[in-house]
Structure 1
Amino acid sequence: MAGFEIANVAGTITYQQELDLSALAETFRQRPEINSVTYEPDENHWLQVWFAPNDTYVSFYRSGKCSIVGATSPKQFDELVERVNALMRELLEFDYEPTAKINNIVATAELDSLASLETIAIGLGLEQTEYEPEQFPALIHRYKGSVLLVFSSGKIVCTGAAEMKQVSSVIDDITEQIEAITIE
């Protein structure tokens, strides 16, 4: 199995009611577990909140959805969901369990050796692979519902997976495929 690091876990929480963002902003500004609050309705239609201790970003929308970005593991994402839900239970009156879901895990990996990106693009198959160095410095490969960026430095970025098993499988597979192409 190829080693990888999680760079970001992003997801959503859905509350079954409209949110008063102005009132939430005022309340959040008084809370010690929140580092920063930005609400500028003339510029953005969402409330931006950074939760302590690691400044994980949560955006709240009037529709009742909120997005979480910046968790470094599914466990940290789940912990933040619990913290946000506990806070929202204090502020809103609801007796349902809000829906929380991881939408995207971004992971990085490193390859030791690498053939040219042109050779890799051909080897992986041009149906799922794009490489236009004049447009973007990495090879873009779509595989098993994920998008992989392969840089000439050997760095791989995997995005689009919603589960750790998928991240692991995709990175293992692409590493094996690229190593086979590099050896040829």
Structure 2
Amino acid sequence: QNMVATYALHYPEDYDGNDKFTNEPLAGVPRKLNLNNLTFHLPFDKVEYEPEQFPGLIYRLDYPKVVCLIFGSGKMVITGARHKDEILEAVEIIKDELADLL
């Protein structure tokens, strides 16, 4: 069975990682993402972005084998995961890859 999850990439200006008390990502004002810029910083063979066709960037991960739809609003949809652990792992991978760009 495939799972679908949504996640918002919210980073305040002084983001430093996780909340010290709950170990949850800090939430703040969502950042607008420049999807054109992201296409040049992510592996080109795993990214599709054609704003005339679809408003989101399509990013296919090899492991876990999921597809992430990243939107300019900072929201992300993860699909194709078989277990919750795969979703959480995909979120961490994408947050790490985008950390320098946000």
- 2:78 is aligned to 158
Deviations 1:26-57 (A, max 9, x none): xxxxxxxxxxxxxxxxxxxxxxxxxxxxxxxx
Structure 1 unpaired stretches of 5+? 1-102
1:137 to 55, 62, 74: 55
Alignment of 1:40-119 (within 5 A): 103-112=1-10, 113-119=31-37
Question: Aligned residues: percent identity?
Answer: 36
**Offset, 1:124:** 1.0
2:40 to 122, 132, 135: 122
Residue 70 of structure 2 is aligned to residue 172 of structure 1: no
Point out the structure with the larger helix share.
Answer: 1
Give the conservation status (yes or no) of the 8 Å contact 2:4–2:79: yes
3-state SS of paired residue (1:159): strand
Give the conservation status (yes or no) of the 8 Å contact 1:106–1:161: yes
Give the conservation status (yes or no) of the 8 Å contact 2:48–2:59: yes
Structure 2 unpaired stretches of 5+? 11-30
Instruction: Give 1:179's aligned amino acid.
Output: A
Could you state the TM-score of these two structures normalised by the residue count of structure 2? 0.73
**Offset, 1:115:** 3.6
Deviations 1:105-152 (A, max 9, x none): 100000122440011111112110000000000000001210000000
Point out the structure with the larger strand share.
Answer: 1
Distance, in Å, in 1 between the alignment partners of 2:32 and 2:91 is 15
Instruction: Give 1:133's aligned amino acid.
Output: P
Distance, in Å, in 2 between the alignment partners of 1:155 and 1:134 is 19
**Offset, 1:177:** 1.1
Distance, in Å, in 2 between the alignment partners of 1:164 and 1:115 is 26
Distance, in Å, in 1 between the alignment partners of 2:32 and 2:88 is 20
**Offset, 1:181:** 2.2
Deviations 1:64-121 (A, max 9, x none): xxxxxxxxxxxxxxxxxxxxxxxxxxxxxxxxxxxxxxx2110000012244001111
- 1:13 is aligned to none
3-state SS of paired residue (2:92): helix
Could you state the TM-score of these two structures normalised by the residue count of structure 1? 0.42
- Cα RMSD (Å) of the superposition? 1.1
Count of aligned residue pairs for this structure pair: 80
